[in-house]
Structure 1
Amino acid sequence: MVDTMALLLPFGRASRTTSPSAQHPAAGLPADDEVLLDAPDDRLGPALVAAGQGSHRAAADLLAATRALGRWDHRDRYVLRLAAFARSRPEWVQTWYAAAPDDPDVLLLRAQLAVDHAWGSPARAELLRGVSPLITAAARADDRDPVPWRLALDHARGSRAGHTYFGELWEAAVRRAPLHYGCHVAALRYLASSWHGSHRECLDFADRAAQDAPADSLVQALPARAALAYLNDGCGPGVPPERLHAA
């Protein structure tokens, strides 16, 4: 397990829909608000289409399957994309929660939505304090699931939690899924120089995590992600070029 003090949102784009206010569709073509761009995989796509029609059943089945099979990386990516879709069309999530308020999958989706909402607000820290009970409810709903702990790590970053508290969350996350990519990315972001650490520390963490991961694990991508963050940042201590090339 990675050392706590060496801690240190998956790759891909959230599914997007065009604005419901778009008008004057071309003759013979569907209206803009009926078009799904950047179509995801063949499991998530139908869930998004059904959600656009107001039904939560396909999304519920999809997330329940990831939980039953322990496909935590898929679960994390699906939750992020479903939440992105629900930010503009939340009715299907509200209907789902009203029908099954103890469902671990809708609890997780509601927690992701709340974190996303708080993150985009100037009052982020204040709003995040009110999100904690939702994350806790999602974590308690299925103790095996690491995705609520990824949310907790994001929450801690947004509220500028200290290393000790973050380390406790990290240990709880990797105890459930040692190779969960989303939790590793959350930890990498926490360590980024714009928050609490440095780019050298990020690269150190990313290198160690990749060395300990199987060749087919998404965690193998962490060094490249850390190097890209450094190249896009333009601040903090310099990193030797050979480290960037190796990443």
Structure 2
Amino acid sequence: MVFSRIRKSVRAMKNLTAVEDALPPDDSVVLDADYDDPPLVDAVHAAWGGDWSRAGRLLNATREGPDWELRAHHIAELAEAALDEDGWLRDWHAQAPDDPNVLVVLGEYLIYQAWEQRGAKYARYTSEDRFAGFRHYLGQVEPVLRRAIAANPADPAPWASMITLAMGSPGGRRNLYDEAWRHLARLDPLHRGAHSRALQFVCEKWHGSNDEMFRFAYHASDSAPTGSPLHTLPLWAWMELDCREDGRVLESAGAREAVNRALTVCPPDAPATYPRDRADRNLLVRTLFVQNRHTEAFGQLQALGVHATSSPWNIYGAQDPREEFITFRGAIKLAVAEEMP
């Protein structure tokens, strides 16, 4: 028995070299990188240098669609960039106060600022000072978003931001959520970002329930065409439940079926059927490992290459999402090596 274990350990160590060679080294892993989107990178760096014109040109390219998901991604990245330095955004708004591009970025930036003030803890662990900052910034959002909507009525992005505003408002503004969702269903019924925000609104930790959350997620997936990223939404719902409940939530039959849905659009070691799939694949890495589906998890690592994302690791409480990703990466590599003949 002892010699059998030794032989298995030696074999696993030999296999591990081959497994590690199939992935980029750990020190090459990057978090939330956008360097494969040069126009976005250029726009952010120019903005930090005081030149907002490239951000304007970047968003002009999607001002009338049809790639609303790309527009939403660029808006979010520019708004996040303004958290580090917002002078360029304030200057842009001052010089072009009716420009729908700057208005939608400003609205999203104010939402980000509100959450920066609030922090990520549950309400009972959040100080009144933090809530005061949260309310201060959130109270500025709706007029900005309404102006963005009036300036570019075809754009679903400000309505998606409105869902987050409704979620953060005291008691949850269900009427505002319903209004936003009605317009989103008309403008872009398959909008991934809007569905992700809505899933948060209807989950139990905010203004819904587990039942409403799962109904929403599965209806979105069941109604979506083949290849839609909405097929990953049920897995995110299971993650929400897993974060709040003790027990082996992700090992349930329902969670396994949700993983299989997500794999239809994020096949292991192959391109996804849609762009900007990295957070979905990071979630699959974590969930497949928990489900002891190590070879499939390894396939997701191969598809990701060097790309870690903050979500879902930060949702599970990781202080360093990149390091948490690397920890799971190492455990998956070892598990695959041990399972090899």
Which TM bucket (shorter chain)?
0.7 to 0.9
Quick one: structure 1 residues 163 and 98, their matched pair in 2 at CA, closer, same or farther if it must change by over 3 Å?
closer
> Could you say what the CA RMSD is over the residues aligned between the two structures, in angstroms?
2.3
Number of the residue aligned with 2:33: 38
Pick from 142, 148, 151 the counterpart of residue 138 of structure 1: 148
Partner of 2:139, secondary structure, is: helix
The structural deviation recorded for 1:162 is 4.4
Between Structure 1 and Structure 2, how many residues are aligned? 211
* 1:167-186 residue CA offsets vs partner (Å, 9 max, x unmatched): 22211222111111111111
Aligned counterpart, 2:163: 153
**Superposition TM-score, scaled by structure 1 size:** 0.78
For 2:94, give the aligned amino acid: A
Shift of 1:120: 2.7
The question of whether the paired residues in 2 share the 8 Å contact of 1:107 and 1:134 is answered with: yes
Counterpart-to-counterpart distance in 2, 1:118 and 1:179: 27
8 Å Cα contact 1:146-1:174 kept in structure 2: no
**How do 1:116-195 and structure 2 match up within 5 A?**
116-121=112-117, 122=130, 123=132, 124-125=134-135, 127-159=137-169, 160-195=171-206
**CA deviation profile, 1:144-163 (whole Å, cap 9, x unmatched):** 01110011110000013243
SS of the residue corresponding to residue 67 of structure 1 reads coil
**Which structure shows the bigger proportion of residues in helix conformation?**
2
Q: Is the 8 A contact 1:63 1:75 kept in 2?
A: yes
Query: Of 76, 81, 87, which aligns to 2:77?
Result: 81
What is the Cα deviation at residue 103 of structure 1?
0.8
CA drift of 1:245 comes to 1.1
User: What displacement does 1:125 show?
Assistant: 3.8
Structure 1 stretches lacking a partner, 5+ long: 1-35
- CA 1:42–1:216: 2 relative to 1, 3 Å: farther
**Could you say what secondary structure the match of 2:62 adopts?**
helix
TM-score, length of structure 2 as denominator length: 0.57
> Percent same amino acid among aligned pairs?
32
C-alpha contact 2:111 2:141 (8 A) present in aligned 1: yes
Larger radius of gyration: 2
Deviations 1:207-237 (A, max 9, x none): 11011112222222211211111112227xx
2:101 to 102, 105, 114: 105
Cα shift at 1:243 = 1.4
Match of 2:49 in 1: 53
Matched letter for residue 170 of structure 1? W
Mean alpha-carbon deviation: is it higher for 76-85 or for 168-177? 168-177
- Alpha-carbon spacing, 1:196–1:60, altered in 2? closer, same or farther (3 Å): same
Give the Cα–Cα distance (whole angstroms) in 1 for the partners of residues 176 and 106 of structure 2. Answer: 24
Structure 1 runs of 4+ aligned residues shifted over 6 Å read none
